[in-house]
Structure 1
Amino acid sequence: MQRVIRHWMQVLLVPALLSAAFAAAAQSSVQGRDGVVVHYGTLNTNSLAAPVARRLGVQPRSSHALITLSPRNASGQALRATASGSVRRLTGQRQILNFRVVEMDGEPQDLIAEFEIQNGEHLNFEIEVDTAGSPYPVEIRFRQQFYRD
């Protein structure tokens, strides 16, 4: 019986929590040349619910944050994509962002990467997203201040 309950929690609850976490992180979006839209946002890993953190392979810590990228076509469907980029402190120190794909039901949904934060620090992000079928990468540049929980 516990196995059945655990299975249904994974099938129903974890995807719902994952979607909620990504929706909370989706703060902005950038539109590419050919109608591709990339929604993006950041959140402290401490704010992730335990089942979501496990599903993502993330250990919640106050010293780490997560960036999510959600590439979509004009009708809102998820696109296969890769991303590369970095985050730079105002002192010039750079962290490479290692993006990985998050799948739901075997289909790619989002890209995520973890990075370190200090309390009150401003970070500059430079990211390039390549989507399948588009010759034009989507460039994302923004600055954000972070606080430890």
Structure 2
Amino acid sequence: MRKLIALCCGLVLAFSAHAERKQTFDGIDIHYNVINTTFLQPDIAQSVNIPRSKQLGMLLVSPVKNSVGKEAKKITGEVKNLLGQATKLDFKLIKEENALYYLATFKKDSREQLVFTINLTFDEGKQDTIKFTQEVFPD
């Protein structure tokens, strides 16, 4: 699982060099990114039960408060194509020492713009929403 931390941190850092994907709500930094599941090493994909496929993308969400992972009471989301066809995102929680990640996969059949919506609720009970658009490519 430590490999997953290194991979996820590396992915967040690699993509943040292009444009940091982070929003802050009430002192909680929400880091998020979208990758192709084929970017995962086979052993890491197997350890988190994520299939590697050219037709699957993965959304990674990592809430952090004071340099420590912050668990959400609830996280939901959806991904929509530009035609408005929506698919619910089912997040799985991955916990490791001082870090935690929420991972959700989604199908991608062709090069397209997708609109992601992530809803997070923490202990305070207030729901925070992140909405962003990203172009995805099949491998």
Asked whether the two chains share a fold, i.e. TM above 0.5, the reply is yes
Distance in structure 2 (CA, Å) of the matches to 1:148 and 1:21: 20
CA contact (8 A) 1:25 1:42 kept: no
Q: Tell me which residue corresponds to 1:31.
A: 24
* Among candidates 49, 59, 73, match of residue 41 of structure 2: 49
CA contact (8 A) 1:31 1:138 kept: no
Which structure has more helix as a fraction of its residues?
Answer: 1
CA contact (8 A) 2:37 2:51 kept: yes
Secondary structure class of the residue paired with 1:20? helix
Q: Alignment length, in residue pairs?
A: 131
Q: Tell me which residue corresponds to 2:96.
A: 104
CA contact (8 A) 2:80 2:115 kept: yes
Which structure has more strand as a fraction of its residues?
Answer: 2
Q: Is 2:112 the counterpart of 1:121?
A: yes
Q: Name the larger-Rg structure.
A: 1
Q: Tell me which residue corresponds to 2:133.
A: 143
CA RMSD in angstroms, aligned pairs only:
1.6
Distance in structure 2 (CA, Å) of the matches to 1:98 and 1:90: 21
Tell me the TM-score normalized by structure 2. 0.86
Aligned amino acid, residue 5 of structure 2: S
CA contact (8 A) 1:45 1:62 kept: yes
Tell me the TM-score normalized by structure 1. 0.81
Aligned amino acid, residue 29 of structure 1: K
